[in-house]
Copies of this chain bind each other. A is one copy, B any other.
Amino acid sequence: MTQQHIDEIRSFNRFYTGMIGLLNGYILNSNYTLPEVRILYELYYQENVTASMIITTLKIDKGYLSRILFQFEKKKMIAKIRSKQDKRSAIISLTIKGQKEFESLNLASNNQIKKILDPISKDDCDKLLYHMGQIRKIFSASETNK
């Protein structure tokens, strides 16, 4: 692996940072911050989530999380129920309102992607997905045998 390999990967990272920034920038125009959206994402797609699970998967400070969850609770977007198994922790779930909020964020995010993909031909779109898939595959393979 040469210096040129490294340079090119770093160059791609800068490029794709811009891409992601573009997409996140859109979300940041919503009423939620990036950490908030990530937390909503976890709550939406996982069941029986506790705060500490979010902490480990999102690598977020527990105090910070606690406050964000408190805001969500105040807005009636989540509900907490004390776990019977472990009374220290609480199972967190999105309320209907919380789900709807996330879904509308999701929709906005989809539209943003659509807008970016719009000038790209169907054919190139397929290629895009193919290349993305290959990149993930290569990284994931290296992930497993370490």
Q: Which residues of A contact B (CB under 8 A)?
A: 1, 3, 5-6, 8-10, 12-13, 15-17, 19-20, 23, 109-110, 113-114, 117, 119-120, 122, 124-125, 127-129, 131-136, 138-139, 141-142, 145-146
Contacts and interface: CB of A to CB of B under 8 A. Distances in A.
A142 B22 CA distance: 15
A10 B113 contact: yes
Contacts of A146: 119
A92 to B, nearest CB: 20
Contacts of A131: 131-132, 134-135, 138
Given A19-B139, A119-B146, A124-B138, A110 B6 contact: yes
Chain A binding site: helix, strand, loop or mixed by DSSP? helix
A16 B12 CA distance: 11
